[in-house]
Amino acid sequence: MDEIDLSQHFLGKELRYPLLVNALTGGTDQARRINQALAYISRKHGLAMALGSQTIALEDQGLRETFSIVREINPGGLLMANLAASASLEKVLSAVEMISADAVQLHFNVPQELAMYEGDRNFKGVLKNIENIACHCPVPLIAKEVGFGFSREAVKMLFDSGVKIFDNGGKGGTNFIVIEDQRDGNFNHELYDWGIPTAISLAEIISLKLPIRVIASGGIRTATDAAKAIAMGAECVGMAAPFLKILLDGGIEELDKMVSSFLYRLRAVFLMTASRNIKEMQKQPLIIVKETAEWLRAREIDPHFCSKRI
Ligand SMILES: Cc1cc2nc3c(=O)[nH]c(=O)nc-3n(C[C@H](O)[C@H](O)[C@H](O)COP(=O)(O)O)c2cc1C
């Protein structure tokens, strides 16, 4: 067990584990406390962390500290800024500067916007915007879905616009159509099943064999989920809701315990599959069955696409 090494050089930093505390919050006193705790846990375990959307702090300078606290707590850590894909280059640069970010996530959440009465309805010009940001942003740009999953066509378009890192954000975990509907959205109990499941979205993206780096997220809940995503070719695995829920329910001690035991089980899965590190896990044969296999057949994607992931 001691020889299992899950460390990963990612976006210019050394991670002890290929795990990302994905975008959650910022902007209020409570959000500041949450970010502080998440930054502490990320530093302690050597994980990456993304901030919640920073728009609010670009509009009100007084709220910057609810985000920048993460850099104070974790000065050497891998931190990602976060804004909507429609954000201007100027806003992206400010968000990066706010936390001395190592990378910036630009989130795509069209279904969520459409489910909200007050959400966006106009998505014209997003690709051009991304192209401009990719050209001028001083840190790597990550295109991130929030739970509906990128398709291979979407990834190909974004790749052609200059994006080289993707967080696939598939269906299976947090569901923003349900959340917005419960908050008085206008999808009226329909479309709850919208989206591409995480495993399928990962297969769609990785089988493109583009020179890209992939973070797997959306409904990752167990060490086995994480190991499978890595075996499929993801270099890092993101989780969002579970961190927040455990922190709010049990405080930082419970979150610390949860993360420690999750990481223990992740190393156990690596040992049980005789994978000493991420590279070895990515050489393990994949057995793709049921809906995922059927989907790959329908899309004419070779189920041996991972032999191999570049
Ligand atoms: C309370 C909450 C707030 C979130 N806020 C953001 C956000 O500001 N920006 C973003 O890109 N994603 C945001 N997300 C999406 C997550 O980063 C993640 O993509 C999504 O929840 C799927 O992961 P999960 O199933 O592990 O929760 C949020 C998720 C939750 C639960």
**Dist. CA 116 → ligand 1 center (Å):** 16
**Ligand 1 mutation pick, 109, 146, 239, max ligand atoms within 8 A of CB:** 146
**Dist. CA 196 → ligand 1 center (Å):** 16
State pLDDT tens for residues 50-103: 999 999 999 999 999 999 999 999 999 999 999 999 999 999 999 999 999 999
Q: Do the domain assignments include residue 97?
A: yes
Q: Do the domain assignments include residue 1?
A: no
Give me the residues of the chain with pLDDT under 70, please.
Answer: 306-310
Number of domains in the chain: 1
The CATH number assigned to the domain holding 139 equals 3.20.20.70
Q: Do the domain assignments include residue 252?
A: yes
Q: Do the domain assignments include residue 149?
A: yes
- Predicted confidence at residue 307, as pLDDT, reads 56
> Going by CA atoms, what residue is nearest to atom 15 of ligand 1?
146
**Dist. CA 25 → ligand 1 center (Å):** 8
220 Cα nearest atom in ligand 1: 26
Report the pocket of ligand 1 as residue ranges, CB < 6 Å.
22-25, 52-53, 82, 105, 107, 144, 146-147, 169, 173-174, 217-220, 239-241, 244
Domain housing 93: 8-298
- Predicted confidence at residue 303, as pLDDT, reads 81
- Predicted confidence at residue 186, as pLDDT, reads 85
Q: Do the domain assignments include residue 58?
A: yes
- Predicted confidence at residue 224, as pLDDT, reads 98
Q: Do the domain assignments include residue 305?
A: no
Q: Do the domain assignments include residue 306?
A: no
Q: Annotate the chain with three-state secondary structure.
A: CCCCECCEEECCEEECCCEEECCCCCCCHHHHHHHHHHHHHHHHHCCEEECCCCHHHHHCHHHCHHHHHHHHHCCCCCEEEEEECCCCHHHHHHHHHHHCCCEEEEEECHHHHHHCCCCCCCCCCHHHHHHHHHHHCCCCEEEEECCCCCCHHHHHHHHHCCCCEEECCCECCCCHHHHHHHCCCCCCCCCCCCCCEHHHHHHHHHCCCCCCEEEEECCCCCHHHHHHHHHCCCCEEEECHHHHHHHHHHHHHHHHHHHHHHHHHHHHHHHHCCCCEHHHHCCCCCCCCHHHHHHHHHCCCCCCCCCCCC
Question: The whole model's pTM is what?
Answer: 0.97
